[in-house]
Structure 1
Amino acid sequence: MSLYKHILVAVDLTDEADVVLDKAREIAEANSAKLTLVHVVEPLSVAYGSDIPLDLTTLQDEITQQARDRIHRLAEKIHVDNGEQHVVYGRPEREVHRIVEESDVDLVIVGSHGRHGLALILGSTSTSILHGATCDVLAVRVGKHS
């Protein structure tokens, strides 16, 4: 019996994403589970404040297109169909939780840098995804400790 049927992999599109994808592919194969990839693009107005008197639309569009290109290349490595590759706008934890609910996901896999001290207290994307998730969450260690 398979423990998981649908796995959502939240990736940040850095080189470290390969470590997370390898683990996701391994778990998906062991469970005959469907894989879905997501990358969340935070609106530039959130990242840099809404006080910037510039139209960031062109830059935001370019960032989104680069994210789509990168997620497509990552998905090809692990044979994930185009329909299961998502680049969405918003806050990562909110968007991941939304996709979990809408797509009947039973495991989220995300990379974690294993922060300590003040960085841990301030939170991280993986910690934010864990809190409030309605399914299992696997944080794969990435970075210099992986």
Structure 2
Amino acid sequence: MMSYQHILVAVDLSDDSQLLLDKAADLAKATHAKLSLIYIDVMKDDEFTQQIVNSFVRASENNNVLQNSKDQLNRLVENTSYPVEQTLVGFGGLSQELEDAVKEYEIDLIVCGHHQGFWHNIKSSAKKVLKSIPIEVLVVQLR
């Protein structure tokens, strides 16, 4: 089995997020790795909008969108049996936000989910991540 130091779980806050976190927690436990969690709001995924949204969100820690995302992440953490080191929220480009987290928190494995279905095969976030992230990525197939 591979040995990991810090595993980052990328969730979309859907019903499958807890399943994905629990699978990653099992792996973190087996490898004695730190475990962190990230949600990235990719609805604002063009460069200009991303810059505006990032400056707005960073300027306002009391932002409702940011707080709502943090609350949802905290509920996931409360329902998992392994300690979570960091809960992170990002806005904008999925790949860029993950790359930044990888560097800042010394992540050596990203765990993400992939939904089956027609639309998910056309526009898969997992494909974007696999193309751009310079570390190992574990893709868990979800319903």
Give the shorter-chain TM-score range: 0.7 to 0.9
Aligned partner (choices 62, 65, 76) of residue 74 of structure 1: 76
Max radius of gyration: which structure?
1
Matched residue, 2:26: 26
Sort the Cα spacing of 1:67 and 1:35 in 2 relative to 1 into closer, same or farther, 3 A: same
SS in 1 for 2:111: strand
User: Where do 4+ consecutive residues of structure 1 move more than 3 Å?
Assistant: 42-46
Sort the Cα spacing of 1:44 and 1:102 in 2 relative to 1 into closer, same or farther, 3 A: closer
Sort the Cα spacing of 1:45 and 1:128 in 2 relative to 1 into closer, same or farther, 3 A: closer
Question: 2: CA distance between counterparts of 1:33 and 1:45?
Answer: 31
Unaligned runs of 5+ in 1: 50-55
Question: 2: CA distance between counterparts of 1:104 and 1:73?
Answer: 25
Matched residue, 2:53: none
Question: 2: CA distance between counterparts of 1:112 and 1:43?
Answer: 18
Give deviations 1:24-45, integer Å, cap 9, x for gaps. Answer: 0110000000001011123658
Sort the Cα spacing of 1:9 and 1:119 in 2 relative to 1 into closer, same or farther, 3 A: closer
Question: 2: CA distance between counterparts of 1:70 and 1:141?
Answer: 22
CA RMSD of aligned residues (A): 2.8
Question: 1: CA distance between counterparts of 2:99 and 2:116?
Answer: 21
Instruction: State the number of aligned residues.
Output: 132
Question: 2: CA distance between counterparts of 1:76 and 1:22?
Answer: 11
Matched residue, 1:52: none
TM-score (norm 2): 0.78
- AA in 2 matched with 1:76: E
Matched residue, 2:60: none
Matched residue, 1:8: 8
Unaligned runs of 5+ in 2: 50-55, 58-62
Kindly state the Cα deviation for residue 69 of structure 1 after the two structures are TM-superposed: 0.3
Give deviations 1:43-92, integer Å, cap 9, x for gaps. Answer: 6585xx8xxxxxx98xxx322221110001111222444x6011122211
Matched residue, 1:138: 138
Matched residue, 1:37: 37
SS in 2 for 1:7: strand
TM-score (norm 1): 0.76
- AA in 2 matched with 1:40: I
Matched residue, 1:107: 109
